[in-house]
Amino acid sequence: MGKIISFFDTTLRDGEQSPGCSMNKREKLILAKQLERLGVDVIEAGFAAASDGDFESVQVIANEIKNSTVAVLARAVKGDIDRAWEAVKGAAKPRIHIFLATSPIHMEYKLKKKPDEVVQMAEEMVKYAANFCPEIEFSAEDATRSEPGFLAEIFDRVITAGAKIINIPDTVGYAMPNEFYDFIMEIRGKSRYLDTVQISVHCHDDLGLAAANTLAAVRAGATQLECTINGIGERAGNAALEEVVMALDVRRDIYGIDFNINTKEIVKTSNLLSGITGVHVQPNKAIVGANAFAHESGIHQHGVLAKRETYEIMTPESVGLTASKLVLGKHSGRHAFKDKVESMGYDLTEEELNEAFEKFKALADQKREVFDRDIGAILTKGIAGEDARYKLNRFVINAGNTITTTASVVLNIDGEDKEGISFASGPIDAAFSAIEKCLDKDILLEDFSLQSVTEGTDALGFATVKLRYKGNHYLGRGVSIDVIEASINAYIDAVNRIC
């Protein structure tokens, strides 16, 4: 067995900061349980001091997750640390993750503090947090634009104060792989204590080098890798967990690394995240993209048929990719449906399961064949666990190429029906305008997309809507064989998230 690498997943914290990727408490818990099944060593559940909603999400996840460490982010201030500990103290394996900027530009313009003040602040807050929690991680924000000697000093101070994990993040995605390797090695050479603790890295993808930098850090001695599913995150995102894992797996001849990730859960986890957020990966995305194992060139097809290894360096099965199978029909029972749901990574309450089963039965009556992806689509709609204030009662659309499109939409709002009527150039535009006339909110439609879930003319339509309200973004999802109904449901879902 080679050296063991730990994977720290920050999909629920940094990943959620990606525009359009926000999740509610119920959705976060479902994803956290799948991350545990995936085998991640650490789940960063959120930033408890950011809001009451974040605090509650961290607390629920901490109380439910048993095998993975549950980390919570905190600034280097007592209020954040108190709030973080209150949220995570119920975890089987809790961790407080403290961050503080260390680059000259951040210290001068953001913190407005001198370097010696920053060192003292870091040391005091790590010592304070260590009184509560046995496992403290310290992150030097914007490390790659910091001075190596200064980082060695602050790392030594926080290690003696109680930090067990030191994170060296490439916060703005600035580093080159060979440069990052040399940078980490230089800090190790200047620090007295860094080699006595776990070295972690957290790389952003602003220049498309997050995975490459993460792998360079492994060669430089890092033993914890901070990633997100599908690479989501701030700006261009983070190192994609699936890419880093499979690079280490396929190239064991170079790295000689072992890890606890169950690679056969990768595609399931990726699909679950896409379903929950409504943000799908591009077809040519490494490992989990729709084309990752597709071969269109005749030469490639011939080679793969003769011997798969000619053009595939890993098997689809190794990451859990299987054909979209006909799984259930309209005569399938609730028990079979529950087994399928659980095998897809969903952990639903009885109420949610009952609601999903009714939707499945309705779909099975409409479609000739029901596939895994169909079930995934209906499952990701309606797992919020909260009562919706706005509900669709009915809609009527009159459209054609020789008439002005008319839409009538009736919403049930707090138990009372309200109708909106609108005229527009197309059915979806008219429907959205009709909905807006039922609302008392100044809402801006920022984005709308519609795609089929599976093949065929009876495929489910999966609609996503992004609304802006008071400076914040809200993403809604809707599914239906009727694409207009799917679009209306997505818009109403986004409005309910505003509430």
The tens digit of pLDDT for each residue in 23-64 reads 889 889 999 999 999 999 999 999 999 999 999 999 999 999
pLDDT value at position 325?
A: 54
Choice between 2 and 350, residue whose per-residue pLDDT is larger: 350
Same fold, 3-277 and 390-498: no
> pTM of this prediction?
0.86
Residue-wise pLDDT for 453-485, tens only, equals 877 777 888 898 999 998 888 888 888 889 999
Provide mean pLDDT across the span 89-108. Answer: 98
Provide mean pLDDT across the span 266-290. Answer: 89
Asked if 139 contacts 202 with a C-beta cutoff of 8 angstroms, the reply is: yes
pLDDT value at position 340?
A: 83
pLDDT value at position 382?
A: 52
Give the start-to-end residue ranges of the domains of the chain. Answer: 3-277, 294-322, 326-379, 390-498
Provide mean pLDDT across the span 119-134. Answer: 98
pLDDT at 264 over 80: yes
- Annotate 418-480 with three-state secondary structure: EEEEEEECCHHHHHHHHHHHHCCCCCEEEEEEEEECCCCCCCCEEEEEEEEECCEEEEEEEEE
pLDDT value at position 255?
A: 95
pLDDT value at position 115?
A: 97
Residue-wise pLDDT for 191-245, tens only, equals 999 999 999 999 999 999 999 999 999 999 999 999 999 999 999 999 999 999 9
| CATH T-level assignment (fold) for domain 3-277 | TIM Barrel (3.20.20)
pLDDT value at position 484?
A: 95
pLDDT value at position 474?
A: 86
pLDDT value at position 11?
A: 97
Choice between 477 and 109, residue whose per-residue pLDDT is larger: 109
Provide mean pLDDT across the span 67-78. Answer: 98
Choice between 375 and 98, residue whose per-residue pLDDT is larger: 98
pLDDT at 488 over 50: yes
pLDDT value at position 364?
A: 83
pLDDT at 384 over 60: no
pLDDT value at position 456?
A: 73
pLDDT value at position 339?
A: 84
285 CB-side CA count, 13 A: 19
Q: Which pLDDT band holds residue 276 (cuts at 50, 70, 90)?
A: confident
Q: Which pLDDT band holds residue 371 (cuts at 50, 70, 90)?
A: confident
Please state, rounded to an integer, the average pLDDT across all residues of the chain: 90
| CATH T-level assignment (fold) for domain 390-498 | Double Stranded RNA Binding Domain (3.30.160)
Percent of the chain with pLDDT over 70: 92
pLDDT at 385 over 50: no
Please give the Cα distance from 215 to 181 (Å, whole number).
9
Provide mean pLDDT across the span 259-288. Answer: 91
* Report for 173-182, 355-364, 408-417: range of highest mean pLDDT: 173-182
Percent of the chain with pLDDT over 90: 66
pLDDT at 499 over 90: no
**Element of type H or E holding 50:** none
